[in-house]
Amino acid sequence: QVQLQESGPGLVKPSETLSLTCAVSGGSVSDINWWSWVRQSPRKGLEWIGEMSPSGTANYDPSFMGRVTISMDISKNQFSLKLISVTAADTAVYYCARHVAVPRTRGFDYWGPGTLVTASS
Amino acid sequence: VLTQSPGTLSLSPGERATLSCRASQSVRSTYLAWYQQKPGQAPRLLIYGGSIRATGIPDRFSGGGSGTDFTLTISRLEPEDFAVYYCQQQYAVSRPYTFGQGTKLEIK
């Protein structure tokens, strides 16, 4: 059974960097699935942040471009999110998720439980 | 942009629910997914590839549609089905994913 677990600070000061890690168990991050970060806030709902391929290629939503980096650590079987220059608008529950591996389809079949990150001084 | 309607749907157990998701431009149907979310939980994949039920999803859930109009149908509502439902799409490979704003399905 695949499981994902987000971890990282729950409180980040404005202008600083948000760093989260998603530990994957029951599967390998370098197998065939892609992986994503999604956040959810009352103001914006569900927002896709970006994705990473099993080979390490990343794609980002244009609204986060320039502020976001997604990376992978195969040795630890995890992938990470870094978001720089955070503001109060980045306060949200952050989820990591696995993409369905069926070709030419879309959907995220496994999600972590989510972690609340608050941007506040 | 994905627009879901209605914002809130009030129905009774045993009734049929039809939730709508409209895209601002044509979407490949296989690039459309539906999720269920309950308070304090992560979204749960119900339908991927437009119409394929995810593992463990009961057959009372079905997805369909094409072009810009898609629907999630729950044939006979069970008490555990009352939740918020989201559609998600990707217009093309390497384009951003977007989510609808959600439809809250509440007990009448």
One-letter identity of residue A40: Q
Interface test with A, best of B31, B38, B48 (most A CBs within 10 A): B48
What is the average pLDDT across A65-70?
95
**Distance (Å, whole) CA B66 – CA B61:** 17
Query: For all residues of chain A together, what is the average pLDDT?
Result: 96
Coil vs helix vs strand at B16? coil
Residue B3 near chain A (CB below 8 Å)? no
**Distance (Å, whole) CA B38 – CA B47:** 16
* Range scoring the smallest mean pLDDT among A7-16, A28-37, B87-96: B87-96
By Cβ distance, the residue of B41, B49, B88 closest to A102 is B49
Whether residue A45 is predicted with pLDDT greater than 90 in this model: the reply is yes
**Distance (Å, whole) CA A87 – CA A3:** 30
Q: List B107's β-bridge partners, or say none.
A: B11
Q: What is the pLDDT of residue B94?
A: 80
- Indicate the helix (H) or strand (E) that contains A39: strand A35-41
CA nearest neighbour of A105 among B51, B60, B4: B51
A68-109 per-position pLDDT tens digit: 999 999 999 999 999 999 999 999 999 999 999 988 889 999
What is the average pLDDT across A4-20?
98
The nearest alpha carbon in chain A to B31 belongs to A106
Share of chain B above pLDDT 90, in %: 94
